Each structure stands twice: as structure tokens, then as C-alpha cells.
Amino acid sequence: MKIFIFIIILLLPFHLAAQNFTASVDETTVADNQQFKVTFTFSGKNVNGAKDFKPPAFSSFLVLSGPNQSTSIQFINGVQSGAISYSYIIQAKSLGKFSIGEASVEFDGNTYQTKPLNITVVKGTSKPTTQKKQDGTISNEEIAKNLFIKATVDKRKAYMGEQVTVTYKLYTRLNIAAQMSINKLPQYQGFWAEELETSTNIIFMTEVINGKQYRVGTLKKAALFPSQTGKLEITPFELKVPIQIKRTRNRNNIFDDFFNDPFGRSKTIEYNAVSNKISIDVLPLPLKNQPESFNGAVGDYTFNASIDKTTAKTNEPVTLKVVISGKGNLELVELPELNIPTGFEKYEPKTSEKISNKNIISGSKTAEYLMIPRVVGKREIPAVDFSYFNPAKKRYITKRSGPFSLDINQGERLPDVEVASKEDIRQLGEDIRFIKTSGYDIHKKEESVLFTAIFWIGGTVPMIVLFVLVGWKRKNDKLAGNLALLRYQKAQRVAKSKLKKAKKYLNENNHKEFYTEISQALFGYLEDKLHIAKAEFTIDKAKDELNNLNVDDELTQKVKKMAEDCEFIRFAPGAEENTAMKSTYDQMATVITDVEKSIVEKNGK
């Protein structure tokens, strides 16, 4: 029995969260005269204390070789992990279905056991073993059996607006030589997509599929909210994986024999792993029993509305607070309409959100409505209704808060108060003073003032200022009534604001926040400038809109590349270091400026 100890330092992190003992075979269906290998692997942070390995009986098989023991140890960031493998070469004695029983091993006072393996033995000749060429060549078909990306969703049928979670996992039995890179990100056409939290480094676990043991790591998770009905398709996720293939020693080379080449030689090949496509059937929300207060919210929510006081004075602010919390796409949840009685001056609400993106999108959305009572008396703010559709219960739910009663007392009088009581009118009589006309030569005064420069400046300047203010107000009213135009006008300004934040994170050497802000700068600019709704935005759609605006194809390709690079760096932040951050910042600023200039020059906007 030979013991081979390999100390492997991999650039891709790999560790096991706990001690694990598994059994695996080359194939679960074999020919009656075929030899095959069964392996029992004990893995974990520490494997040195493993002892008293007990194999299964192998009563239905011939043991041709074994146990052959091998040990692998690796160190990642000073943390040790490893595995001990016990392998057997066996052959079935007869046709039929058989079971390889449990193996056991002792570690730290505990006994670990494998699960039984089921083997089917059929009539036929043994399958020829595929031999690698001397140069280490291996076919894509062979790689695909041992390395692949699997995309899964938590549901295949969902209502419009209901969260669907998609997960991409990498399965491998091969050595990955270096950092992987993204060839193509999946497209979520017809969905509002939110990235879910995953580890910045891929953490591999072990999983047995059809008797074969794989290392499995989560690459990416996303929460998808369908924005349209019908059959929607998620495109594949493509990843370029560098694989390390061991070369067979060349027996005709005297140098190999002289140096004995104990660790062997290897070569790295690039393999393009492509995930499977996924289709989702999206159902429309039922029209039956749909409440009037329903504004499209889908999920499971709680609702509360409260007022900060029940007694107030005129011209004293009163705040009504609305809080929506729970599970669902809170960013798209619309606030309920408030029916404010007359006698109040109402302002636009101040809103805030707290969103968590761990597995399920959840959190809270808060709005504070500021109202100023102008009239004395008792007022009642009607109850506030909030309705949503619960996919789990398949029905609409309405939550209600209020009504709220307010007792308004007289406060300090302001010069511009328009409403006056009888008492106020009586007091006005005491303030009347008659104009004194004696002792003044009115006509003489008129002649002395009418032809002075101060008179004409004082008369014309206010008129000019008034016209300017009226024009500015009309422009703002026009923009306020046309949200698309408003977003278009402010697109570059918002992008500059994001780039300013990115510059701050660049100076602070904050890699993650820098790439988040710089990515949002580009995406937000394109959404606003091209009138694309956030839920429908994709890079390909933005590229088509730029082409429609006669933007040069070379510039649109540069925009697409910058967007894909930013998404890749956000997905795998270890791929870029601080030396590339300054270059990325300069390139992004240049791209946005060039797009703005091209749109203005070629479209006159």
C-alpha cells in the first residue's frame, strides 16, 4: 500500500466546512467483465487523526486491487484542509443489481459511515478506457462529463411580480488552474433582477451525483421578479474555466528518466462552460376580487400608518408616517394614496428604504407625509388602505390603518393668512389709519420722482425678474409632468454624481463600493437617457437604442464592453486590483461623455 502526499496550493479557494466521509464509483452501470474503481474519501479541515478504516464486505464482487490509500493536503491563507482516499479496483461476479455496503472510519472519538452504493451489472464487453495522449490532450466531451454549470430555480411557475430565485453552481472533478472569467452573463428579459448575496470567494463543498463525487460551489444567485406574463426564458451563463491537465511522462525522453520528474508535468487548457437554459411560466394576477386600492404589490407584507399628534395649532407641522415591510420587491411597491381633507397644506412625502438581499428580498419602505393645518376646527384624515397579492395564499389582502382625528387650535397668525373670523375683523378696525394729505405738495413730488433713474430701475427690474421666474416655473412644470423628459435632462448630472461617489471610494481604496457606484453610473445614465424602464433594462437593449440614435457602432461596442467588465468585476472582485480602478474610472467618464456628445451632435438633443 503506497501513500502519496500532494501539497497543492490552488488559486481558487476550496475548503470543507466539516468532516465528511463519502463513497463514489466511476460508473453505476458496468459490464459483467468490466473492472471499475470505488473510492471512499474522508475530508475536512483535519484528517491526520483518521484511523481504523473498515471497508464493506464486497461479497458480490472480486477485489482486484486495494485498498490503495492516498492523502492530499492543501493550505489556503494559512488554513489547512485535506482528504484521505481509500480506493479499490473491483469486478462483478454476476449479472444483476447489487449494493456496495457502508464503509466506516474513526476520527476524534466519532465513527463516520458512507452511504451504500447501488451498482447495476449488465451483459456486454467492458467499455474501453479513454487514454490521454502524450501531450495531455482531452476532448470537450470528456471535460463536460467532469465539469459543468447547473442553473436551478426554486419554482418553474410564478405569478407576475412574484420572486423566482435562480442559482448557478459549478460542478467539477477537475483541477481549476487559475481565476475563472465570465464570457457572457445571463439575460433576464422580462424580469426585474436583483443580485443576491454570495461569498466573494467560491466555497466548494462535496456532493455525490450518480455515484460520482464532485466539488460544488455557488457562482451566482439572483432574485427575479417577472414583469410580464407568458413563457419567459433565462439565457445561459457562460464561464471560461482554465483546467489543469496532467501530461503523461515521455518515456523516450532521457531527461525525464534522469530527473525522475516526481510531480509530473501539466498544461492548462481553456474550457467554455455553459449553463442550461431555464423557462418560467408566468401567470397573470387574478382580476376577481381585486381591491380598488391595489397598485401592483406582490409578496407578503405588513402595513402601519400613524400620526405624530392628535392636537395641533394652525401653521404647525403634522407628520403622518406610513411603513410597509415584509417580503417582496419593495423598490416597486407604490405608496398608498392619502385623502387629505381641505384646510391642510400637503407636501411630497419623504421616503426611505431598508432592503435585505439574502436569499429572499425583504425589508421595509417608509414614507413621511408633512401636512400643515391652516384652518381651526376638528378634522379627520380618512383610513389609509394598502392592498397586495399574496402568491402563497393566492389571494388579495387589504390592510387598513386609521382614521385619524385632529383637533386644530388657533396658532400664531401669519401675514398671509387668508381666512379670518369675525373677531379678527373687529380688530382690524383698530388698525386703520387715515392718510394725511395736508402739508405735502403731491404734484411737486410726482415731478421730482417720475423722471429719475431710480424710478425706472425700480419699475423695470422687478418685471424682468418676474418674467424670468415665470419662464423657469413653466419649464419645471413641464419637466415635472413629463418624467421621461425630466430623466433625460438630468441623466448626465446623475451620472456625474455617481462618478463623484466612485472617485471617493477610489481614493479610499474601497474596491467593492467603487465598482458598484461606477456600474450604477453607467446603467443609470443609459436608463434615463434612452427612456428604458429599470425593470426592462439590458445591455443589448441599450445598444439597440444607441444605434437608433445614430451613435457610432464602435462607441456602442465600447459601452457594452465597459458594462460587461463592470458586472464581471462586481461578480468576481478578486479579478481586478487597485491598479485597474483608476483606469476604469477614466474610461467610464470618457465613455459617458462621448455618448452624451454623440447624441447631442447627431440628434440635436
SS (H, E, C) 385-396: EEEEEECCCCEE
Higher pLDDT, 481 or 282: 282
CB 275 within 8 A of CB 236: yes
Q: How confident is the model at residue 455 (pLDDT cuts 50, 70, 90)?
A: low
- For residue 473, is pLDDT > 70? no
What is d(CA 385, CA 294) in angstroms, rounded to the nearest whole number? 9
- For residue 482, is pLDDT > 50? no
* pLDDT tens for each residue of 322-348: 999 999 988 888 888 888 888 888 888
Closest C-alpha to 559, from 515, 510, 526: 526
Residue type, 487: R
Domain 5-122: give its CATH code: 2.60.40.10
What is d(CA 307, CA 518) in angstroms, rounded to the nearest whole number? 40
**pLDDT of res. 432:** 47
Q: What is the mean pLDDT of residues 152-169?
A: 93
- For residue 11, is pLDDT > 60? no
CATH architecture of 291-409: Sandwich (2.60)
H or E segment and range at residue 91: strand 79-92
DSSP state letter for 332: G
Lookup: cell for 57? 464486505
CB 102 within 8 A of CB 233: no
State how far Cα 575 lies from the chain centre.
19
> What residues contact 494, with CB distance under 8 A and at least 6 apart?
524, 525, 528
Order of all β-strands in the sheet with 230-234: 157-159, 278-283, 230-234
What fold is seen in the domain 483-603? Four Helix Bundle (Hemerythrin (Met), subunit A) (1.20.120)
Lookup: cell for 115? 452511504
* pLDDT tens for each residue of 222-241: 999 998 999 999 989 998 88
Q: Is the pTM of this model over 0.75?
A: no
Write phi, then psi, for 453 (nearest 5 degrees): -65, -35
Domain boundaries, the chain: 5-122, 140-282, 291-409, 442-481, 483-603
Residue type, 1: M
Closest C-alpha to 538, from 250, 289, 304, 192: 192
SS (H, E, C) 219-260: EEEEEEEECCCEEEEECCCEEEEEEEEEECCCCCCHHHHHHC
What is d(CA 27, CA 460) in angstroms, rounded to the nearest whole number? 95
CB 595 within 8 A of CB 529: yes
State how far Cα 156 lies from the chain centre.
20
* pLDDT tens for each residue of 62-115: 887 777 777 776 655 455 667 788 888 888 888 888 888 888 888 888 888 888
Lookup: cell for 342? 381641505
Query: Mean pLDDT for the chain?
Result: 76
What is d(CA 430, CA 423) in angstroms, rounded to the nearest whole number? 12
User: Which whole-number Å values give the CA distances from 92 to 40, 62, 551, in the listed order?
Assistant: 18, 6, 68
Lookup: cell for 270? 481553456
H or E segment and range at residue 524: helix 511-529
* pLDDT tens for each residue of 360-394: 899 999 999 998 888 888 888 899 999 999 999 99
Closest C-alpha to 225, from 131, 115, 355: 355
140-282 and 291-409, same CATH topology: yes
What is d(CA 529, CA 523) in angstroms, rounded to the nearest whole number? 10
**pLDDT of res. 365:** 92
User: 413: number of CA atoms within 13 Å, CB side?
Assistant: 7
**Which of left, alpha, beta for 195 (phi over 0: left; psi -120 to 50: alpha)?**
beta
CB 117 within 8 A of CB 28: yes
| β pairing state of 265-274 and 230-234 | unpaired
Measure the CA angle with vertex 308, ends 302 and 310; round to 5°.
Answer: 115
- For residue 25, is pLDDT > 50? yes
**pLDDT of res. 461:** 78
State how far Cα 349 lies from the chain centre.
27
CB 207 within 8 A of CB 213: yes
- For residue 262, is pLDDT > 70? no
Lowest mean pLDDT segment, chosen from 321-325, 368-372, 584-588, 597-601? 597-601
Lowest mean pLDDT segment, chosen from 116-120, 274-278, 578-582? 578-582
Higher pLDDT, 512 or 485: 512
Whether omega for the bond prior to residue 186 falls within 30 degrees of 0, making it cis, is no
| β pairing state of 147-153 and 265-274 | unpaired
**pLDDT of res. 419:** 41
Angle between helix 578-603 and 511-529 (nearest 10): 10
Q: Which residues pair with 74 in a beta bridge?
A: 81
Lowest mean pLDDT segment, chosen from 158-172, 260-274, 410-424? 410-424
- For residue 496, is pLDDT > 60? yes
- For residue 118, is pLDDT > 70? yes
Higher pLDDT, 145 or 568: 145
What is d(CA 24, CA 8) in angstroms, rounded to the nearest whole number? 22
What fold is seen in the domain 140-282? Immunoglobulin-like (2.60.40)
Q: Determine how many CB atoms are found less than 10 A away from the CB of residue 41.
A: 21
* pLDDT tens for each residue of 534-575: 656 677 777 787 888 777 778 888 888 777 777 666 555 444
Q: Is 105 exposed, middle or buried (0-12, 13-18, 19+ CB in 10 A)?
A: buried
> What residues contact 493, with CB distance under 8 A and at least 6 apart?
none
Q: Which residues pair with 192 in a beta bridge?
A: 225
Lookup: cell for 51? 484511523
CB 9 within 8 A of CB 176: no
* pLDDT tens for each residue of 284-322: 999 999 998 898 899 999 999 999 888 988 888 999 999
What is d(CA 505, CA 578) in angstroms, rounded to the nearest whole number? 11
CB 227 within 8 A of CB 191: yes
